Amino acid sequence: MKEIQRWRILPTLVLAGLLLLAAHPAAALIDVEWRPACQSVDPGQLIEIDLYVVSDDETDQSISAMDIILLWDPDVIELVGVVDNGPYAWFFSGFTDDSVFDGLNETFLDGNALYSAYSQLGNPAYATPDGLHVTTFQFQGSMTPGFCWITEPRQAGMYTETKIIDGEVPALHVEGELGKATAGVGDFGVIYAYLNCSPDSGVLPFATNFMAVLGSNYMSQPRRLAAYIDVTLANGTYYGSYRKGFTNVWPGECFARSWNQVFPAFGTLVGDNVFTLHMQDVTPPPYNQPPYSPSGGTDTDSCTITGIAP
């Protein structure tokens, strides 16, 4: 019987853990991170992202087991598997049979999976303040350009949860913040802007989700990128700098942000509403002078939201 099933169907163990917990001081939490949190590859290439568990205080924290739910866009990337190249030798690291619960691992083609790792008996793993490298996830990039989030929800379906179990107190959940990463597939330039809106049409009023990405393919130096979004409504009204800001990105990485936007039932929105993301490399001296690359590069991307009259 798999470890994941014992957690779910043996209430006596859970009760014992709760009794121990009552007499045990509160434990610090363990955060889950992706490194790098944002990257892009050419179409068809392999994407590798490391999964880390990080103590949220200055102490090392023990781990007996973990379940991590993953969600991604299967039209952009496809899960291949994991490579256990971290410093700790897990008793098990992979994808358990979830068919009798929520069926997350029946196929990797639907954009969700459940990853599990169990520690060695009597030799728990430890999340350090700098982070323990758990494993490396491999995704195959599609041939169609695009970006997607890789997220870790706390629950999927009726029974499956993301959880990290303490290595000393039975059944004690110690999961903290859950990270997310961005994977991009496309023929991107040295610096690049990407803007997506989904859904891109609807009967007013309706809500859509925006995803904006600022990226750098400079592999040996960080860059500072500034950006703003301007809007031209369906009736021709123009708004500059609908959203703006700047960020520093590490070599070969990117910055991604998403938000929901409600389109009310206004006549000005009936038709095509164009949102354009403008980005510029504003890396300051001396990091824009030899031997570093010059600043000033630009890129744009846009998306169109079509409002349909109610």
As a whole number of angstroms, the distance between CA 261 and CA 126 comes to: 41
As a whole number of angstroms, the distance between CA 99 and CA 18 comes to: 28
Residue 309 has pLDDT above 80, yes or no: yes
Which pLDDT belongs to residue 27?
Answer: 57
Lowest mean pLDDT among 99-103, 204-208, 258-262: 99-103
As a whole number of angstroms, the distance between CA 112 and CA 59 comes to: 33
Q: pLDDT of 17-67, one tens digit each?
A: 333 333 344 558 999 999 999 888 899 999 999 999 999 999 999 999 999
pTM of the model: 0.80
Which pLDDT belongs to residue 74?
Answer: 95
As a whole number of angstroms, the distance between CA 232 and CA 102 comes to: 44
As a whole number of angstroms, the distance between CA 130 and CA 110 comes to: 33
Q: pLDDT of 139-188, one tens digit each?
A: 999 998 899 999 999 999 899 999 999 999 999 999 999 999 999 999 88
Contacts of 35 (CB under 8 A, 6+ apart): 49, 50, 52, 131
Q: What is the mean pLDDT of the chain?
A: 89
Percentage of residues in the chain with pLDDT exceeding 70? Answer: 91
Q: Can you say whether the dihedral through the CA atoms of 15, 17, 23, 25 is positive or negative?
A: negative
Q: pLDDT-derived band of residue 101, with 50, 70 and 90 as boundaries?
A: confident
12: left (phi over 0), alpha (psi -120 to 50) or beta: alpha
Residue 207 has pLDDT above 50, yes or no: yes
CA 26 distance to own-chain centroid: 29
Percentage of residues in the chain with pLDDT exceeding 90? Answer: 80
Contacts of 206 (CB under 8 A, 6+ apart): 199, 262, 263
As a whole number of angstroms, the distance between CA 276 and CA 193 comes to: 10
Residue 12 has pLDDT above 80, yes or no: no
Which pLDDT belongs to residue 221?
Answer: 92
Task: Write down all domains in the chain, each with its CATH number in brackets.
Answer: 3-185 (2.60.40.680), 191-308 (2.60.40.3880)
As a whole number of angstroms, the distance between CA 7 and CA 13 comes to: 8
**Helix, strand, coil proportions of the chain in percent (round to 5)?**
5, 55, 40
Q: Could you identify the residue written with the tokens 């590798």?
A: 48
